[in-house]
């Protein structure tokens, strides 16, 4: 079965392209597939360093991919979806057809539109509410009695991120319900695992095994839906009543549910208006927004507190946070924008600890597609760049294997001191050399919201808690 899968998936790869991880050995294709599955980041980097820099290999998720040189990054990032499609790759990677279902929601524009139009507009204006959740969550997890406690970094901060994001997604009451909050990260994990399992089988077998593979997905989404459906049903009733009679005694909360219900009043299909479909949209919003943000926070904490001179780094970060908070009195948008060192420490963490190894993965949707160097790429193939290769390339970064928390803020602080024009390279600035949020047409639209929350959580941790530095990391980052 594995041999059949390896040979059919590689049938479309242009002849002569080296297959990373494939060696001259018995059962070479199957063993190359296994290598791609267990060490895809290392393979991406290895391929990036080969002259010519073209290769195809089996990723853990989703079939072979042609990894193109980073110089083609801006070109890929600007090509529209009818030629190079981003979502097709994401959906196939996670096998959304089976793991999530609901093509009518996935193909619909409502979530993307509301993120770009409402969430981005509101980001920064709800920080008072968000701080309330951060403080309360950290206090309940770490305690406020001055005693040392041993806590799991991921377990605790996932809860804080889930609660904080949910404050804006679903409002004050539900964001404090930990059964609901944890169902988001449990669902994300279950979808990922079932996606991996499905990719182990050839396409024709997936329908048969999908029901079993996705049982945990249904359980966790079911928990979220149990809480979301009554809330959204009631919100629709209240919003309709208020629209009909402005004296109706109810105040409209500012959250994603309100924006979504308001938008649904302008639409007419069942899947854009029914309580079930609107609720499931929040399940998917959580999927895209919560675990990604948790990983960024957790990696930043691990990278900062295990850096070589962690004690000095923490003093410098704390000093900045104290000064800015004293000046502004609260974590407003303007105040957060002044946390240059913290912003840099998080951006640098996302550079060295980026997830997945690749970026700008795109499915070719047309016949006769040719890369700028003349290589003809068949329809339905996947192309992309090696994110780790780029992030660890000396051409783009000085001493790239070192975690240097102030790499991005140093030039900025020097610029501020000499009053030259500002160097604009902060956490939300994407480029083809810094890809955690991707770049170009499909750059993550939720990054402004995510960055706002990540910075506030880290700032509050620095100001209110002592964390003993973790074991110091090796001078160089781990080999990938």
Site string for ligand HEM, 344-363 (x = CB under 6 A): ----------------x---
What are the helix and strand counts (H, E) for the chain?
A: 23, 7
Which residues have a Cβ under 8 Å from the Cβ of 70 and sit 6 or more positions away? 48, 385, 386, 389, 390, 393, 432, 433
Binders in 69-108 for ligand HEM, by CB under 6 A: 86-87, 90
- Give the number of other CB atoms < 10 A from CB of residue 334: 12
Choose between 43 and 296: whose C-beta lies nearer to ligand HEM. Answer: 296
Could you write out the DSSP letters of every residue in 337-353? HT-HHHHHHHHHHHHHT
Q: Which residue is nearest to ligand HEM (CB)?
A: 446
Strands 64-67 and 382-386: parallel
Nearest-angstrom CA–CA distance, 136 and 392: 38
Instruction: For the chain, report the end-to-end CA distance as a whole number of angstroms.
Output: 29
Q: Among 21, 36, 289, 357, which residue interacts with ligand HEM (rule: CB under 6 A)?
A: 289
- Give the number of other CB atoms < 10 A from CB of residue 369: 17
Choose between 137 and 453: whose C-beta lies nearer to ligand HEM. Answer: 453
- Least Å distance, CB 437 to ligand HEM, is 5
Verify binding: residue 449, ligand HEM, rule CB under 6 A: yes
Give the CA distances from residue 255 to residues 6, 118, 165, 235, 449, in Å, rounded to whole numbers and listed in that order: 46, 9, 10, 11, 13
Binders in 291-310 for ligand HEM, by CB under 6 A: 292-293, 296
Could you write out the DSSP letters of every residue in 412-440? HHHHHHHTPPPP---TT--BTTB-TT--G
- Least Å distance, CB 185 to ligand HEM, is 13
Which stretch of DSSP H or E encloses residue 245? none
- Least Å distance, CB 110 to ligand HEM, is 11
Verify binding: residue 60, ligand HEM, rule CB under 6 A: no
Closest CA to 434 of 112, 89, 84, 70: 70
Q: Among 115, 157, 261, 456, which residue interacts with ligand HEM (rule: CB under 6 A)?
A: 115
- Least Å distance, CB 355 to ligand HEM, is 7
Give the CA distances from residue 163 to residues 135, 278, 294, in Å, rounded to whole numbers and listed in that order: 11, 20, 11
**Residue range at the interface with ligand HEM (CB under 6 A); choices 209-217, 223-231, 363-371, 439-447:** 439-447
Verify binding: residue 288, ligand HEM, rule CB under 6 A: yes
Enumerate the H helices of 78-214 as residue ranges.
86-93, 96-99, 103-106, 110-114, 120-122, 127-142, 153-170, 178-199, 206-213
- Give the number of other CB atoms < 10 A from CB of residue 470: 15
Choose between 35 and 362: whose C-beta lies nearer to ligand HEM. Answer: 362
Does 477 appear as a known binding residue?
no
Choose between 389 and 446: whose C-beta lies nearer to ligand HEM. Answer: 446
CA angle 69-74-79, nearest 5°? 110
- Least Å distance, CB 62 to ligand HEM, is 13
**Residue range at the interface with ligand HEM (CB under 6 A); choices 111-119, 224-232, 306-314, 316-324:** 111-119
- Least Å distance, CB 471 to ligand HEM, is 25
- Least Å distance, CB 53 to ligand HEM, is 20
Choose between 259 and 449: whose C-beta lies nearer to ligand HEM. Answer: 449
Which residues have a Cβ under 8 Å from the Cβ of 144 and sit 6 or more positions away? none
- Total number of residues binding ligand HEM (CB under 6 A)? 23
Q: Among 69, 75, 112, 413, which residue interacts with ligand HEM (rule: CB under 6 A)?
A: 112
Site string for ligand HEM, 389-428 (x = CB under 6 A): ----------------------------------------
Choose between 112 and 413: whose C-beta lies nearer to ligand HEM. Answer: 112
- Least Å distance, CB 35 to ligand HEM, is 24
| Sites of contact with ligand HEM (CB under 6 A) | 86-87, 90, 111-112, 115, 119, 288-289, 292-293, 296, 360, 436-438, 442, 444-447, 449-450
Binding residues: 444
Binding residues for heme: 444
């Amino acid at each position: 079965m594995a041999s059949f899968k390896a040979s059919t998936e590689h049938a479309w790869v242009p002849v002569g392209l080296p297959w990373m991880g494939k060696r001259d050995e018995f059962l070479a294709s199957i063993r190359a597939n296994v290598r791609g599955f267990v060490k895809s980041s290392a393979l991406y980097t290895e391929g990036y360093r080969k002259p010519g820099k073209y290769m195809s290999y089996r990723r853990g998720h989703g079939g072979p991919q042609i990894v193109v040189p980073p110089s083609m990054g801006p070109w890929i990032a600007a090509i529209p979806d009818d030629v190079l499609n981003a979502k097709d790759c994401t959906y196939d990677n996670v096998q959304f057809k089976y793991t999530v279902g609901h093509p009518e929601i996935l193909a619909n524009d409502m979530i993307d539109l509301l993120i770009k139009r409402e969430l981005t507009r509101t980001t920064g204006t709800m920080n008072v509410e968000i701080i309330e959740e951060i403080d309360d969550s950290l206090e309940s997890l770490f305690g406020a009695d001055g005693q040392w406690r041993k806590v799991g970094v991921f377990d605790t901060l996932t809860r804080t991120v889930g609660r904080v994001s949910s404050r804006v997604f679903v409002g004050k009451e539900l964001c404090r319900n930990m059964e609901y909050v944890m169902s988001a990260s449990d669902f994300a994990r279950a979808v990922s695992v079932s996606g991996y399992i499905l990719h182990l089988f050839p396409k024709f077998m997936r329908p048969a095994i999908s029901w079993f593979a996705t049982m945990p997905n249904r359980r966790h989404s079911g928990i979220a839906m149990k809480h979301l459906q009554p809330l959204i049903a009631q919100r629709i009733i209240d919003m309709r009543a208020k629209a009909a009679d402005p004296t109706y005694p109810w105040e409209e909360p500012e959250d994603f549910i309100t924006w979504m219900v308001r938008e649904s009043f302008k639409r007419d299909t069942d899947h854009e208006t029914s309580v079930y479909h609107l609720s499931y949209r929040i399940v998917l919003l959580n999927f895209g927004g919560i675990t990604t943000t948790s990983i960024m926070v957790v990696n930043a904490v691990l990278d900062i507190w295990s850096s070589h001179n962690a004690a000095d780094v923490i003093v410098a970060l704390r000093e900045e946070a104290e000064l800015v908070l004293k000046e502004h009195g609260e974590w407003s948008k303007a105040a957060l924008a002044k946390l240059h060192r913290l912003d840099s420490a998080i951006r640098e963490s996302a550079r060295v600890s980026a997830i997945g190894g690749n970026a700008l993965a795109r499915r070719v949707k047309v016949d006769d597609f040719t890369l700028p160097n003349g290589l003809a790429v068949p329809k339905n193939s996947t192309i992309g760049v090696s994110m780790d290769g780029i992030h660890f390339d000396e051409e783009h970064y000085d001493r790239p294997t070192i975690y240097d928390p102030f790499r991005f803020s140093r030039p900025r602080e020097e610029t501020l001191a000499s009053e030259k024009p500002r160097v604009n390279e902060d956490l939300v600035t994407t480029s083809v050399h810094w890809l955690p949020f991707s770049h170009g047409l499909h750059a993550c639209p939720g990054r402004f919201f995510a960055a706002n929350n990540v910075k506030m959580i880290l700032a509050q941790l620095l100001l209110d808690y002592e964390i003993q530095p973790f074991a110091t990391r090796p001078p160089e980052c781990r080999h990938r």
